[in-house]
Amino acid sequence: MSGEPFDLVVVGGGPGGYVCAIRAAQLGLRVACVDRREGLGGTCLNVGCIPSKALLHASHLFEQARHGLARFGVRVGEPVLDLEATMAYKRKVVEDLTRGIAFLFRKNGVTHVRGEGRIAAPDRVEVTTPEGETRTLATRRVVIATGSVPATLPDIPVDEKSIVSSTGALDFPRVPERLLVVGAGYIGLELGTVWRRFGARVTVVEYLDRILPGLDGEVARLMHRLLGRQGLEFLLGHRVRAVETRDGALEAVVAPRDGGAERRIACDAVLVAVGRRPYTEGLGLAALGIETDARGFVPVDGHFRTRVPGILAIGDVIGGPMLAHKAEEEGMAVAEFLAGGHGHVDYDVIPAVVFTRPEVASVGRTEEALREAGIPYRVGRFPFSANSRARTTLETEGFVKILAEEGTDRVLGCHMVGPEVGVLIQEVATAMAFGATSEDIARICHPHPTLEEAVREAALAAWSKPIHV
């Protein structure tokens, strides 16, 4: 241990950790950020948000070239997928962005330490470098931002070749002919979509009776129908009991959840996408007296403090929505607390987007949650089939649904399926953050012809009456 102690050592360089480190440095603290990966950016940049969105984009273009252009009068020959080039493009995007964070660290004076971090004491982090050396960082505070890893199923061991987690499914060397996906959540639908567009026959096995648990039920039902029409086959209320190898090919043994005859599904690859679990291995939490909860999350109070003074935690490792922007918000808030200010995360306004086509976007409470809480609400709904811009691009599937509190008209939630709804949702999130009513949104002039007008019309429908439907 040498020199002045750091004010803050952040363990984990994902969207929670790196944002926390940069913000704390901007606010005048002396900061180090430890991550074991070669590239900064954590799960999100290396094996999550960014590579998956690159493949979603490339596969969308491929599908457009195959089936989507002729209806606009644009004729092209049969496109050819050069998967190696697609993967090279994806890698370049990831590399550029991870290098970008290293640049931001230098610009803001954050010390980047590569290696495995262990919190030896509240004022000491030991780092084992890739070369096997140990470096000790003295510090006043520690933030745990070690994120999450894919959850696994005991009877389906992942080898990241033919039985893969999301990490392997971002890197298939060739398009599997038949892909079996376990879990119809974010990853199952996004990566299932990618490989279907590239030519795989995709079957999604989901334990529950619905897809996208946690999101609005009406949204999930519509997406089930639309993705089914695109060629994803769903087996709801089923689980994969085992995956066996027969004559060099895989066979999944799929059982109805509530009993009944099993069936065998032949496939070339299996993607296990049944959620993610918090990651704290090797951090030394037990020795410090920090007990994780039953699901492995690090418990924190409203200021992100663990039970050990000087040690805080943020991001996927503390639970809540496992989303990059939620981790970033918490990183900002912690940095502000530690620099003597007042951090704040508005957990009622965390948008969520599923980047299929059409996209799904959501913010605030669902109808199910409002009903369960006994909160009376009105629904304003507007279909994209009645939006002029959506008609020009022939993307008319879906709707915007705004939920406003009966009596006060305050917007409590918004759920969308449709083109670019991952962008449209932010207008409603911003409005909600300011406590807006549906009338407030409806009375704001929206440019024409845009998809944004569908948001205004849904707000009009919640407050009074829509014009165009």
Does residue 169 belong to the site contacting ligand NAD (CB under 6 A)? no
Structure tokens at 368: 């199910």
Does residue 202 belong to the site contacting ligand FAD (CB under 6 A)? no
Point out which residues pair with 415 in neighbouring strands: 362, 401
Q: What's CA 437's distance to the chain center, in Å? A: 28
* Minimal distance, residue 262 CB to ligand NAD, in Å: 14
* Minimal distance, residue 249 CB to ligand NAD, in Å: 21
* Minimal distance, residue 153 CB to ligand FAD, in Å: 16
Does residue 185 belong to the site contacting ligand FAD (CB under 6 A)? no
Does residue 12 belong to the site contacting ligand FAD (CB under 6 A)? yes
Does residue 130 belong to the site contacting ligand FAD (CB under 6 A)? no
Residues 281/157, Cβ–Cβ less than 8 Å: no
Of 126 and 420, the one with the shorter C-beta distance to ligand NAD is: 420
Structure tokens at 22: 């940069």
Nearest to 460 by CA among 395, 397, 409, 419: 409
Does residue 158 belong to the site contacting ligand NAD (CB under 6 A)? no
Question: Which residue has tokens 């970008």?
Answer: 100
d(C-alpha 189, C-alpha 354), whole Å: 8
Per-position x/- string for 246-275, each x denoting binding to ligand NAD as judged by CB under 6 A, each - no binding = ---------------------------xxx
Does residue 143 belong to the site contacting ligand FAD (CB under 6 A)? no
**Sign of the C-alpha dihedral, residues 82, 87, 92, 93?**
positive
Does residue 206 belong to the site contacting ligand NAD (CB under 6 A)? yes
Residues 333/327, Cβ–Cβ less than 8 Å: no
Give the residue at shortest CB distance from ligand FAD.
147
From the candidates 57, 112, 325, 448, give the one annotated as an active-site residue: 448
What burial class does residue 406 get, using C-beta atoms within 10 Å of its C-beta: 0-12 exposed, 13-18 middle, 19+ buried?
A: exposed
Nearest to 401 by CA among 189, 211, 217: 217
Does residue 89 belong to the site contacting ligand FAD (CB under 6 A)? no
Contact pick of 54, 145, 181, 227 for ligand FAD (by CB under 6 A): 145
Largest CA distance in the chain: 70
Q: Collapse the DSSP code of 425 into the 3-class scheme (helix H, G, I; strand E, B; otherwise coil) and give the result.
A: helix
Element holding 415 (H helix, E strand): strand 411-418
d(C-alpha 28, C-alpha 176), whole Å: 51
Stretch that binds ligand NAD, among 57-65, 101-109, 319-327, 337-345 (CB under 6 A): 319-327
CA-based Rg of the chain, rounded to a whole angstrom? Answer: 24
d(C-alpha 171, C-alpha 169), whole Å: 5
Q: Examine the residue annotation and report whether 448 is marked as an active-site residue of this protein.
A: yes
Q: Which does 175 bind (CB under 5 to 8 A by kind): ligand FAD, ligand NAD, none?
A: none
Q: Which does 183 bind (CB under 5 to 8 A by kind): ligand FAD, ligand NAD, none?
A: ligand NAD
What phi and psi values does residue 427 have, to the nearest 5 degrees? Answer: -60, -45
Q: Applying CB under 6 A, what is the total number of residues that bind ligand NAD? A: 26
Does residue 44 belong to the site contacting ligand FAD (CB under 6 A)? yes
Per-position x/- string for 334-373, each x denoting binding to ligand NAD as judged by CB under 6 A, each - no binding = -------------------xxx------------------
d(C-alpha 27, C-alpha 19), whole Å: 12
* Minimal distance, residue 353 CB to ligand FAD, in Å: 7
Binding site for ligand NAD (CB under 6 A): 153, 182-188, 190, 205-208, 213, 239-240, 273-276, 321-323, 353-355
Binding site for ligand FAD (CB under 6 A): 11-17, 34-37, 42-44, 48-49, 52, 116-117, 145-148, 166, 187, 279, 282-283, 315-316, 322-325, 327
The residues annotated with a catalytic role in the active site are 448
